[in-house]
Amino acid sequence: MSSLIASSATVLPPCGPTALKSCISPPLASQSRTKRASSRRASTMTVRCDVAVKSADSVNAEEAELSAEEIEAKAKVGSSIRVTAPLKVYHVNRVPEVDLEGMEGKLKDYVAVWKGKRISANLPYKVEFFKEVEGRGPVKFVAHLKDDEFEFIDA
């Protein structure tokens, strides 16, 4: 009886996950990776990995696409400005509100261009101010402004 079982086992085609593995053609080694799901099951899962890499020429082309206005705005970073519009901010520590009209600050950044790409920033200029607070000294804070809300100071 045991010889009958042994001979029938050799005659039957192999079954189970290992039999399927031999029937499936292996994927390309450079484009996919086989991951074992668990130690109890011998099922495999194929994951395809494609990578898109930018060349140096495409990066330089994106930088060249910046308009003259954006290049000019980036060049003004670091210059002194004076606020001309009546603006109030409420995010300064220990001060309930600060009126920015007439205050002088320093242009810190032009945020309408991020990583070489144009983004839609409503308030594209980041300006740093110092406010004297009683008992604390000067407090540094930042506000975002439009180009028509300030003027450049000739220094």
Domain parsing of the chain, residue ranges: 68-152
Collapsing DSSP states into helix, strand and coil, what is residue 14? coil
Task: Identify the pLDDT of residue 145.
Answer: 94
What does the pLDDT look like over 133-150, one tens digit per residue? Answer: 888 888 999 999 998 999
What does the pLDDT look like over 88-109, one tens digit per residue? Answer: 999 988 788 999 999 999 999 9
Fold of the CATH domain 68-152: SH3 type barrels. (2.30.30)
Task: Identify the pLDDT of residue 133.
Answer: 84
Task: Identify the pLDDT of residue 47.
Answer: 76
pLDDT exceeds 50 at position 9: no
Write the CB contacts of 136 (distance below 8 Å, at least 6 apart in sequence). 94
Q: Are 103 and 150 in contact (CB under 8 A)?
A: no
Residue type, 106: K
pLDDT above 90 as % of the chain: 28
Compute the Cα dihedral for 133, 135, 140, 144 and give only its sign.
Answer: negative
Measured CA to CA, the distance from residue 82 to residue 101 in angstroms comes to 8
Task: Identify the pLDDT of residue 4.
Answer: 45
